[in-house]
Amino acid sequence: MKISVIGAGYVGLTTAACLAEIGHSVRCADNDEIKLALLRNGQLPFFEPHLEYVVSRNCNAGRLQFETTEKAVAGAEVIFICVGTPPLENGEADLSAVANVALTIAQRTTGYCLVIEKSTVPVQTGAQLKRQLQLYAGKGLKCDLVSNPEFLREGSAIQDFFHPDRIVIGVEREEAAAQLREIYRPILDQTFKCPVHAECTHTQKPAWIVTDTNSSELIKHASNSFLAMKISFINMVADLCEAVGADVTKVALGMAMDPRIGPAFLNPGIGFGGFCFPKDVQAFVRIASKAGCDFSLLKEVENINKRRIERFIEKIRQELWVIRGRKIAVLGLAFKPNTDDVRFAPALEILRSLVREGAIVSAYDPQATEKAKAVFPDVRYCASPYEAAQDAEAILITTEWQEFSNMDWDRLRKIVSRSLIVDGRNMFNPAELTSRGFHYISIGRQPAFSLDEDPPIAPSAELHSALK
Ligand code: UGA
């Protein structure tokens, strides 16, 4: 099928490349000329595992091209809208990019067109889009408007696209659902050859969920808000554990064994970040309030999350007493591992706070240094964790990159001026780090607590194995 994807960001580019991979002929558009030039040159504007490979093999096979929005929309029969919906100052989503695409579609398309809204939008946006298309369209444009929210996680977007848990669509007509089903058939049936299959863990057939447009739009915001709520919940449990002398890893594990709760998103830490959860929770509160529902539960989720940074800084302050003039190594800048995205990254908030208090900060991240530099230039960025840790009085773990689990602890202990680790992601085993000579502080756990005879395993590994 010939498909146009508007927007070459995390969602659009992944969608375009993966749709091309399963056999469609895709034109991917963006109105950022610099981004288009990069993509045509075989370069990606951001880091996402496997994406470069999938883009390049589909460009080479002639199934994926990059165009301006006007060109990609002209005469198109299937259009995915994947443009950004950033937060406005009042917390609502800015829908101007979505509205602009609708206008371009209305002006440039004739005949039949299936318009698929994939950007994360407030409920009832589909109805507005449809109205806009009808108002501005020339004679002869007939279109179906479908909501098809994305559930891609940065860092594993390719795996999530090829092997999703569910594909949700919101439609008004059965014919539109049938067309969408045809587009996704290789994924629904899992009949395509996955180019990164060896690394994919979730390969059962996805659920196909067909709803009305409003419900589909709500599913996206409700899902992200629920996951954010889980994180804030476990973060509060972690604080309680610290107050009463319990271990949040064990508590989370005990909770996770109940299939109604499950193990995912029970890792406490410095809070959720990124371009999705903070803005989506905020937007969902606004959507609810406009509809006359006071979603105060979610307001508290936000408040708890905001307090994570100060609570983490307080842990550092308790150890160092005065932060001004102290040498601190910050390991991790991205909002989560396997991405270079620093938007709303808790690590950057921590960095900002330390610099404001006068700390001498050295930072390292395997991928996100350039993006962090662009928003926050006044820090010494290093080429390795060892360079960052040289003479440091504290090492902070702010993103749980796999690379950090393989660090040479003996080497680190020799180069720091004080063997203190404050781990905001509960990456390491307290007993093990203590036995290696570090004073190790984490979130909601006892300093070197172990009831097991064998050395305890790291919390996320424990939770992950509970998942299997
Ligand atoms: C999230 C959702 O997981 C996707 O399903 C959704 O499609 C996407 O938003 C979106 O709306 O586009 P993403 O923001 O890439 O994906 O990242 P997550 O893996 O969900 O993590 C979000 C934040 O929560 C990160 O800062 C992470 O460190 C934090 N987190 C996650 C925790 O603090 N604890 C956990 O247990 C899990």
pLDDT of 430 over the 70 cut: yes
- Asked if pLDDT for residue 198 goes beyond 60, the answer is yes
Q: CA nearest 80: which of 157, 24, 136?
A: 24
Asked whether the predicted pLDDT for residue 166 surpasses 50, the reply is yes
In ligand 1, the atom with minimum distance to the C-alpha of 425 is 33
User: Mutate which of 83, 152, 168 to test ligand 1's pocket (most atoms within 8 Å of Cβ)?
Assistant: 152
Average the pLDDT over 10-24 and give the result. 97
CB-based pocket (< 6 A), ligand 1: 120, 150-154, 224, 227, 231, 265-267, 269, 272-274, 276-277, 335-336
Read off the pLDDT of residues 76-131 as tens digits, 9 standing for 90 and up.
999 999 999 999 999 899 999 999 999 999 888 888 999 999 999 999 999 999 99
User: pLDDT band at residue 252, thresholds of 50, 70 and 90?
Assistant: very high
For residues 329-344, give the mean pLDDT. 97
Judge whether residue 450 has pLDDT over 90.
no
Distance 256 CA to ligand 1 centre (A): 18
Distance (angstroms) between ligand 1 centre and the Cα of 179 equals 30
Q: What are the start-end ranges of the E strands in 70-203?
A: 78-81, 112-117, 142-147, 166-170
Q: Residue 456 pLDDT more than 60?
A: no
Handedness of CA 151, 53, 367, 248 (dihedral sign): positive
Element (H, E) at 27: strand 25-29
Give the position, in ligand 1's atom list, of the atom nearest the Cα of 345: 26
pLDDT in tens, 386-427: 999 999 999 999 999 999 999 999 999 999 999 999 999 999
d(CA 423, CA 443): 7
Task: Report CA(276)–ligand 1 centroid distance (Å).
Answer: 7
In sequence order, the 6+-apart residues with CB closer than 8 A to the CB of 332 are 347, 364, 365, 397, 398, 399, 400, 401, 404, 425
Please report, rounded to a whole number, the percentage of residues in the chain having pLDDT higher than 90.
86
pLDDT at 466 over 50: no
Report, as an integer, the average pLDDT of 312-338. Answer: 97
Distance 104 CA to ligand 1 centre (A): 32
Residue nearest to atom 8 of ligand 1 (CA): 153
Q: Is a pLDDT exceeding 50 seen at residue 468?
A: no
pTM for the whole thing? 0.93
The rounded distance, in Å, linking the Cα atoms of 309 and 304 is: 10
Tell which atom from ligand 1 comes closest to the C-alpha of 228. 24
CA 277 to centroid of ligand 1, rounded, Å: 7
Q: Whose CA is nearest to atom 37 of ligand 1?
A: 265
**Best of 119, 277, 311, 464 for a ligand 1 pocket test (most atoms within 8 Å of beta carbon):** 277
Nearest in space to 444 (alpha carbons), one of 239, 306, 285: 239
Which pLDDT band holds residue 201 (cuts at 50, 70, 90)? low
Positions marked catalytic = 276
d(CA 438, CA 419): 5
pLDDT on residue 453: 42
Least confident of 86-90, 261-265, 438-442: 86-90
The DSSP code for 437 is T
Note whether 172 and 353 are within 8 A (CB). no
pLDDT at position 344? 96
Nearest CA to ligand 1 atom 32: 272
Distance CA 219, CA 223 (A): 6
Residue 204 pLDDT > 90, yes or no? no
Testing ligand 1's pocket by substitution, the residue of 166, 227, 463 carrying the most ligand atoms inside 8 A of its CB is 227
- Pick the atom of ligand 1 nearest to 120's CA: 11
Give the atom of ligand 1 at the shortest distance from the alpha carbon of 231.
34
Average pLDDT, the chain: 93
Please tell me the residue having the least CA distance from ligand 1 atom 18.
153
Residues 170 and 217 sit within 8 Å (Cβ to Cβ): yes
Q: Which two tokens stand for residue 58?
A: 């589909």
Domains (range + CATH), the chain: 2-211 (3.40.50.720), 244-466 (3.40.50.720)
